[in-house]
Amino acid sequence: MKIVIAPDSFKESLSAVSVAACIEKGFREIFPDADYVTLPLADGGEGTVDVLLQGLAGQKRTHQVQGPLGEQINAEWAMLEASDSNPNKTALIEIAAASGLDLLTPEQRDPLLASSFGTGLLILEAIEEGAQTIIIGLGGSATNDGGAGIVQALGGRLLDNKGHELNRGGAALSKLASIDLTGLDTRCADVELIVACDVDNPLCGENGASYIFGPQKGATPEQVLLLDKAIANFAQIAESQGCVGGDDPVHKRAGYGAAGGAPMGLGLLFDMQMKPGIEMVLDVLQADEVLKDADLVITGEGQMDNQTLQGKTPYGIAKRASLQGIPTIGVAGSLGSEVEALYGEMSSLFGTVRSPQPLNQVLQEADSNLTRTARNIAATLKLGQEIIE
């Protein structure tokens, strides 16, 4: 029996690698002789670089850059060497590494001032190191600047009506009058940029970057309005100057609301491809090949709910498994609202928390709860086999 264990991380408690190990440990108690294949996954957010390095040859790098509020930090990224399956030298970058929400305390969060400049410096470092392809995972950002900081880091100039360069941060974009890309690093034109994101929100409006994600980054209702107008101004100036291609208005493009609107700025600099994060990860790790001849797939994430259907890891791997006729079981720290919709792709869903508990206790016991739940799932499967026989 071949069992593929392909989970995402359980946020704040277990990495995807640890989750897979716990599930395998629990299952081995009941099915010690099964063929287990672990495939830790991510959907473009935090942990994506580590997940991809599990299955690909590459090395992590550390570069000193500026964090969301200008503080000096050491940010990690990775470089994959060229291979037969991946002919380009490829850099892996997470926007969260240099511009992430986790780099700030709740009291420090300030989307009016937070900038993606540090992410731009990581991109520049990757280009300096010879990257031909750059994959950027959008998730967990502290910024709401439409990727303006990335533009500034790579040589673009954002100017007010007096020709002065704007300060960094989303609020400053309300004063944007013109965009000058003449000083842009010319090597950007030769780089293939793949942007991995797990949301389809547009740049602006009630479902856009500022309204949907601004509050978790510290924005008040008044600041949400200000930031939405500021990013809309950025998009309008870019379109009026012919800086962006395409027929549909930039502010309505699906996915442009990810990471505080970062695709807006990235689209000014690169010939950008946008892909659902989980689909990109599954393709790079050749998941379809891994799934061949599997009898069962087990996946999961910290909380599974109706948002899981919006391009999250469990839904992505379950769809791939379904195409090959392989059943999938989902395991989560907790099951949220409207999980019934997931039954279209998964055979069954399990939560691991034993009883109402304080959050810190839930996080501390995540590994034991997960291992026990996996063991119980396996025992139930074995019992079902015995009853049928």
Boundary (domain end) residue, out of 278, 307, 341: 278
CATH of the domain at 251: 3.90.1510.10
Answer whether residue 133 is part of any domain. yes
CA pair distance 148, 273, nearest whole angstrom: 18
Answer whether residue 290 is part of any domain. no
Which residues lie below 8 Å from residue 377, measured CB to CB, with a gap of 6+?
26, 27, 298, 329, 331, 350
Answer whether residue 87 is part of any domain. yes
Indicate whether 273 and 300 sit together in one domain.
no
Answer whether residue 285 is part of any domain. no
35 and 291 Cβ atoms separated by less than 8 Å: no
The string of DSSP codes covering 223-280 is HHHHHHHHHHHHHHHHHHTT-S-SSS-GGG-TTTTGGGGHHHHHHHHSEEEEEEHHHH
Indicate whether 126 and 8 sit together in one domain.
no
The string of DSSP codes covering 15-76 is -HHHHHHHHHHHHHHH-TTSEEEE-----SSTTHHHHHHHHS-EEEEEEEEE-TTS-EEEEE
Indicate whether 52 and 35 sit together in one domain.
no
pLDDT tens track, the chain, 389 positions? 999 999 999 877 889 999 999 999 999 999 999 999 999 998 877 788 888 887 777 899 999 999 999 999 999 999 988 777 677 899 999 999 999 999 999 999 999 999 999 999 999 999 999 999 999 999 889 999 999 999 999 999 999 999 999 999 999 999 999 999 999 999 999 999 999 887 889 999 999 999 999 999 999 999 999 999 999 999 999 999 988 877 788 888 989 999 999 999 999 999 899 988 899 899 888 999 999 999 999 999 988 887 787 778 999 999 999 999 999 999 998 888 777 878 888 899 998 876 556 667 666 778 888 999 999 999 999 988 888 76
Indicate whether 116 and 214 sit together in one domain.
yes
37 and 5 Cβ atoms separated by less than 8 Å: yes
Boundary (domain end) residue, out of 223, 245, 278: 278
Three-class SS state of 195: strand
Q: What CA–CA distances, in Å, run from 191 to 244, 265, 285, 358?
A: 17, 15, 21, 47
Indicate whether 23 and 58 sit together in one domain.
no
Indicate whether 254 and 321 sit together in one domain.
no
Query: One-letter amino acid identity for 5?
Result: I
Answer whether residue 286 is part of any domain. no
Answer whether residue 289 is part of any domain. no
Establish how many alpha carbons lie within 13 A of residue 118's alpha carbon, considering only the half-sphere containing its beta carbon.
29
Indicate whether 339 and 203 sit together in one domain.
no
Indicate whether 167 and 196 sit together in one domain.
yes
Indicate whether 187 and 323 sit together in one domain.
no
Please identify which residue in the block is written with the tokens 């599954």.
282
Answer whether residue 288 is part of any domain. no
Residue 182, Cβ density class (10 Å: 0-12 exposed, 13-18 middle, ≥19 buried): exposed
Indicate whether 274 and 357 sit together in one domain.
no
Please identify which residue in the block is written with the tokens 């259907």.
309
Answer whether residue 284 is part of any domain. no
Indicate whether 94 and 232 sit together in one domain.
yes
Longest dimension (CA), the chain: 81
- What residue numbers bound the domain in which 224 lies? 48-278
Work out how many domains the chain is built from and give that number.
2
Indicate whether 262 and 188 sit together in one domain.
yes
CATH of the domain at 333: 3.40.50.10350
In sequence order, what are the beta bridge partners of 273?
194
Q: What CA–CA distances, in Å, run from 279 to 129, 135, 164, 316, 388?
A: 27, 13, 42, 7, 37
CA pair distance 308, 324, nearest whole angstrom: 21
Boundary (domain end) residue, out of 225, 245, 278: 278
